């Protein structure tokens, strides 16, 4: 089985596992981190790698089934077909990709290390790296978009439904996926610049998300204080009326007691 798999992948990745670095072409540079850095098992036992494979398979199945269930539930519920839920749909789709693509590829990468199969290790490793970079960037950008969407909904009020539509959200999500896929593939050629740009994107997303949620908190707190003040203004006349009513009842009670005492004194006379 593995010999046939090796024959099918050797033609594709033969140049990538070249032992001699005399001609470090693109293929050699692509596979360097896998075949020269991560391929050695070092002091770890094969049992640990097998256990890691089993854990990845289990979590891959759980992640795939749970995210599929969420996607089907959103798809079959017309009440959930809103722009905000569309962003959550895109986020769930990226999580599904992790369970359906990244984790199985990581499983193949570990398995190739255990059976000492360099071509399979290189193919699975490159595919896992590209898909993992792309899907992580999709998740990060989508989570940032969710925070911005909530802030826009609070700022625009009634105009939100007019400006933010499902079609526009789908266009944004498609742009996010295309950009993330292209960006996730660029590390094959320019690893260090892409690493620097990735740090900048992550920082920008974190700052944007933090600003959005802090702004949301301040807006909600402001509305909450205004509602509380309005409730106090509404309740104050009612409380004043109740106080006057209670005062009148107390006076009437005193008058009744006084009249009763006068009646008793007059009766004795």
- Residue 72 has what pLDDT? 93
Please state, in angstroms and rounded to a whole number, the distance separating the CA atoms of residues 30 and 126.
8
- Residue 254 has what pLDDT? 53
Provide mean pLDDT across the span 12-32. Answer: 47
Residue 80 CB contacts under 8 Å (≥ 6 apart), including other chains: 73, 74
The answer to whether 99 and 121 are in contact (CB under 8 A) is no
Of 79 and 5, which is predicted with more confidence? Answer: 79
Report, in this order, helix, strand and coil percent for the chain, each rounded to 5. 90, 0, 10
Residue 142 CB contacts under 8 Å (≥ 6 apart), including other chains: 87, 90, 91, 94, 173, 176
> Measured at the alpha carbon of residue 245, what is the angle toward residues 242 and 250, in degrees to the nearest 5?
125
Please state, in angstroms and rounded to a whole number, the distance separating the CA atoms of residues 210 and 98.
25
DSSP 82: S
Residue 95 CB contacts under 8 Å (≥ 6 apart), including other chains: 63, 67, 139
- Residue 224 has what pLDDT? 78
Give the pTM.
Answer: 0.70
Of 36 and 180, which is predicted with more confidence? Answer: 180
Provide mean pLDDT across the span 4-17. Answer: 42
């Amino acid at each position: 089985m593995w010999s046939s798999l090796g024959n099918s992948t050797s033609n594709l990745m033969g140049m990538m596992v070249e032992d001699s670095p005399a001609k470090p072409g693109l293929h050699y540079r692509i596979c360097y981190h896998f075949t020269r850095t991560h391929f050695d098992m070092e002091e770890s036992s094969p049992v640990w790698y097998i256990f890691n494979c089993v854990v990845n398979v289990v979590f891959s199945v759980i992640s795939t089934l749970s995210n599929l269930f969420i996607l089907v539930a959103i798809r079959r519920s017309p009440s959930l077909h809103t722009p905000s839920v569309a962003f959550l749909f895109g986020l769930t789709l990226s999580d599904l990709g992790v369970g359906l693509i990244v984790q199985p590829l990581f499983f193949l990468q570990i398995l190739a290390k255990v059976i000492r199969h360099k071509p399979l290790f290189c193919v699975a490793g490159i595919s896992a790296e590209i898909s993992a970079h792309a899907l992580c960037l999709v998740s990060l950008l989508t989570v940032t978009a969710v925070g911005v969407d909530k802030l826009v909904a609070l700022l625009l009020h009634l105009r939100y439904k007019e400006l933010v539509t499902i079609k526009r959200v789908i266009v944004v999500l498609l742009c996010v996926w295309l950009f993330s896929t292209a960006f996730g593939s660029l590390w094959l050629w320019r690893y260090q610049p892409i690493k620097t740009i990735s740090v900048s994107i992550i920082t920008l997303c974190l700052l944007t998300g933090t600003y959005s949620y802090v702004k949301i908190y301040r807006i909600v707190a402001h509305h909450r204080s205004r509602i509380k003040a309005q409730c106090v203004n509404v309740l104050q006349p009612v409380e004043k009326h109740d106080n006057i009513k209670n005062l009148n009842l107390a006076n009437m009670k005193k008058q009744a007691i006084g009249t009763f005492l006068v009646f008793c004194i007059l009766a004795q006379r």
